[in-house]
Amino acid sequence: MKEVLPSTGLPLELDGRSLTIEEVVAFARGGVECALSVESAEKIEATRTLKRDLIERETAIYGVTTGFGDSAHRQISPSKTARLQQNMLRFLGSGTGPLASPEVTRAAMLLRANCLARGNSGVRLELVERLLLYLNNDVLPLIPERGSCGASGDLVPLSYLGGALVGEVEVLHDGEVKDSRDLLDELDLEPMVLEAKEGLALTNGTSFMSAFAALAVWEAEELALVSDLCTAMAAEALLGNRGHFNAFIHEEKPHPGQVESARVIRELLAESELALDSEEIFAGDGLGGREFLELERQVQDKYSIRCAPHVGGALRDTLEWVRRWVEVEINSSDDNPLFDAGSGRVQSGGNFYGSHITQAMDSLKIAVANLCDLMDRQLELVVDEKFNAGLTPNLIPFFDESDPEAGLHHGFKGMQLCCSAMTAEALKLSNPASVFSRSTEAHNQDKVSMGSIAARDARSIVELAQNVAAIHLLAVCQALDLRGIEKASPKTRAAHELVRSRVPFLEVDRRMDADIKEIVDLIKSGELSKQERKE
């Protein structure tokens, strides 16, 4: 996995054209500052000048000198344009549900600033600078997650961003919830008074859904690698056949993600004394003159092991184009209308529409949910004494019948139940959001994208997958301890050591919820994938 960009001491420069997912993640996790490029500042000034000229000429401009949505046929005088923008933030302040996490909020604010940095929105330079000041001082509006259909972008959630700038909503700062007006007083700043188009420019875009999307892509890329590690360790725990991952097989069905997944698993299993190649398993004299022979090992492992590169490969190949779509989206003018300083025109369209993010997130949801299902099926094989090739039931330690502890312990039984429940939830959430369009806002928004719902679902499925993977890793580490960790491959032994540095072997039944959290944190840190890449 690529590392999140380390801090260089230089600010992240926003130009509306070159922001990467890596940079979004680095900023969302804190410790990075941002600034506006010189070229962007010049473009912002030019389009703002054009906007003011068109307003003075009493041109009918959607959402600037007219009402919003189905009120677009009602034009107002230039003197009312500022109040219209302020009112927009107020009537959109109707979000519900849980509050977005600080990571998501930072990412959404950064993406909104990057959209404005592209220089087509007609806002003042001061507005963008105030937004950057909030970002660099970690002043985060409290944004309810629910309320957007993803048609005119994320109007309701993003209205809270604008509300923070004008001092009308609560914000999080230094770990405390504060009234934004009180915080502005602390910072010796006046609330922004919006001018024409500025409320619309802040709310009319895909920055909220794209924040979820960028973070989901990053963490799904890590999960693709972690899942390959889970497969390798499960193959060892089950005394599997590592020949299933040989290059010849996958090069004859050359989906790039499948080939890569098989390569990773193959390299993880190199030198394993537990998962052997086909020739090693079946070396011998054949039937030796007999007409029937009961083999000690099966010729083929079950699908959840043998076909793992096909499932993980589909995720990898989905991520390739999903990443590309998300990076196009976060480097676009995704509001409306747009001011073209070159031609002297203002043009209305629908760049706020979140269809690409919705389609990308619906596809990512399905791919990650399938990964959950794969890991859950592998876990079942490892914990079930009917299928785990001689390991203990539910991976309890080996107890002699005379041991006072014999019969009292159930090991990973609860963990498997939890894993199966989370997998079921991930599969339920994978239902595509894009096909559930609603006609809203007096039939002005009569076909909506459902982008933020799809992106939030993708975030939820990724979080479930991280927990499923954590349980899987704990189980296969327990299994390899029982099997004999010294027989595992060098790379899986190293991964086992990382897990054991945080969570000990399960000697007797105990609560394991804290263990799961420890390994989720390990997955999120990227340490496991770094280990996979070591020579």
Task: Kindly tell me if the per-residue pLDDT of 311 is higher than 70.
Answer: yes
Q: Tell me, yes or no, whether 21 and 135 share the same domain.
A: yes
Q: Single out the residue in 157, 179, 205 at which a domain terminates.
A: 205
pTM value? 0.94
Q: How many whole angstroms separate alpha carbon 364 and alpha carbon 366?
A: 5
Q: Tell me, yes or no, whether 183 and 275 share the same domain.
A: no
Strands 12-14 and 34-36: parallel
Q: Between 213 and 287, whose confidence is greater?
A: 213
Instruction: Report angle CA 138, 139, 143 to the nearest 5 degrees.
Output: 115
Domain enclosing residue 470, as ranges: 214-280+299-334+369-533
Please name the residue that has the structure tokens 């996995």.
1
Tokens representing 123 are 């806002």
Question: Does residue 169 lie in a domain region?
Answer: yes
Q: Tell me, yes or no, whether 378 and 485 share the same domain.
A: yes
How distant, in Å, are the alpha carbons of 182, 391, 397, 489, 493 from that of 484?
A: 61, 11, 12, 11, 10
Omega before residue 337 within 30° of 0, cis: yes
Pick the closest to residue 328 from 349, 347, 351, 350 (CA basis).
351
**What pLDDT does 8 receive?**
53
Q: What is the helix (H) or strand (E) element at residue 12, kind and residue range?
A: strand 12-14
- Asked if residue 59 lies in contact with residue 38, where contact means CB atoms within 8 angstroms, the answer is no
Sign of CA dihedral 439, 445, 446, 450: negative
Name the phi and psi angles at 145, rounded to 5: -75, -25
Q: How many whole angstroms separate alpha carbon 100 and alpha carbon 106?
A: 10
Q: Between 441 and 165, whose confidence is greater?
A: 165
Indicate the range of 62-71, 303-312, 403-412, 434-443 predicted with least confidence.
434-443
Q: Between 125 and 147, whose confidence is greater?
A: 125
Q: Single out the residue in 162, 182, 205 at which a domain terminates.
A: 205
535: confidence class by pLDDT, cuts 50, 70, 90: low
Question: Does residue 294 lie in a domain region?
Answer: no
**What pLDDT does 533 receive?**
67
4: confidence class by pLDDT, cuts 50, 70, 90: low
1: confidence class by pLDDT, cuts 50, 70, 90: very low
457: confidence class by pLDDT, cuts 50, 70, 90: very high
Q: How many whole angstroms separate alpha carbon 263 and alpha carbon 242?
A: 11
**What pLDDT does 440 receive?**
75
| CATH number of the domain where residue 95 is located | 1.10.275.10
72-120 pLDDT, tens digit per residue, is 889 999 999 999 999 999 999 999 999 999 999 999 999 999 999 999 9
Q: Tell me, yes or no, whether 87 and 163 share the same domain.
A: yes
62 is catalytic: yes
Question: Does residue 145 lie in a domain region?
Answer: yes
Q: Tell me, yes or no, whether 231 and 91 share the same domain.
A: no
- 393: exposed, middle or buried (Cβ count in 10 Å: 0-12, 13-18, 19+): middle
**What pLDDT does 448 receive?**
80
**What pLDDT does 247 receive?**
97
**What pLDDT does 288 receive?**
79
Tokens representing 171 are 């914000």
Question: Does residue 342 lie in a domain region?
Answer: no
Task: Kindly tell me if the per-residue pLDDT of 442 is higher than 70.
Answer: no
Pick the closest to residue 513 from 473, 464, 467, 461 (CA basis).
467
**What pLDDT does 2 receive?**
46
Please name the residue that has the structure tokens 């083999």.
295
| CATH number of the domain where residue 310 is located | 1.20.200.10
Q: Tell me, yes or no, whether 466 and 489 share the same domain.
A: yes
Q: Tell me, yes or no, whether 180 and 262 share the same domain.
A: no
Q: Tell me, yes or no, whether 236 and 380 share the same domain.
A: yes
Q: How many whole angstroms separate alpha carbon 452 and alpha carbon 481?
A: 44
**What pLDDT does 299 receive?**
83
Percent of the chain with pLDDT over 70: 96
Please name the residue that has the structure tokens 């048609």.
151
9: confidence class by pLDDT, cuts 50, 70, 90: low
Sign of CA dihedral 144, 149, 150, 154: negative
Question: Does residue 462 lie in a domain region?
Answer: yes
- Mean pLDDT score, 395-424: 90
282: confidence class by pLDDT, cuts 50, 70, 90: confident
Q: How many whole angstroms separate alpha carbon 170 and alpha carbon 95?
A: 13
- Mean pLDDT score, 442-452: 76
Question: Does residue 454 lie in a domain region?
Answer: yes
- Catalytic hit among 62, 134, 160, 353: 62
Q: What is the DSSP code string of 486-506?
A: GGS-HHHHHHHHHHHTTS---
User: Average pLDDT of the chain?
Assistant: 93
Q: Between 530 and 316, whose confidence is greater?
A: 316
329-355 pLDDT, tens digit per residue, is 999 999 999 999 999 999 998 898 889
Question: Does residue 133 lie in a domain region?
Answer: yes
Percent of the chain with pLDDT over 90: 81
- Asked if residue 66 lies in contact with residue 441, where contact means CB atoms within 8 angstroms, the answer is no
**What pLDDT does 401 receive?**
81
Q: Tell me, yes or no, whether 474 and 327 share the same domain.
A: yes
Number of domains in the chain: 2
- CB count within 10 Å of CB 302 equals 15
Question: Does residue 254 lie in a domain region?
Answer: yes
Q: Tell me, yes or no, whether 140 and 222 share the same domain.
A: no
Q: Tell me, yes or no, whether 23 and 131 share the same domain.
A: yes
Q: Between 150 and 126, whose confidence is greater?
A: 126
Task: Kindly tell me if the per-residue pLDDT of 395 is higher than 90.
Answer: yes
Q: Tell me, yes or no, whether 166 and 234 share the same domain.
A: no
367-391 pLDDT, tens digit per residue, is 999 999 999 999 999 999 999 999 9
Question: Left, alpha or beta for 69 (phi > 0: left; psi -120 to 50: alpha)?
Answer: left
159-182 pLDDT, tens digit per residue, is 999 999 999 999 999 999 999 999
Q: Single out the residue in 182, 205, 228 at which a domain terminates.
A: 205
What are the residues whose beta carbons fall under 8 Å from the beta carbon of 147, sequence distance 6 or more? Answer: 94, 95, 96, 97, 155, 156, 157
- Mean pLDDT score, 511-518: 97
Q: How many whole angstroms separate alpha carbon 532 and alpha carbon 263?
A: 11
> What is the residue type of 57?
R
Q: What is the helix (H) or strand (E) element at residue 141, kind and residue range?
A: strand 140-141
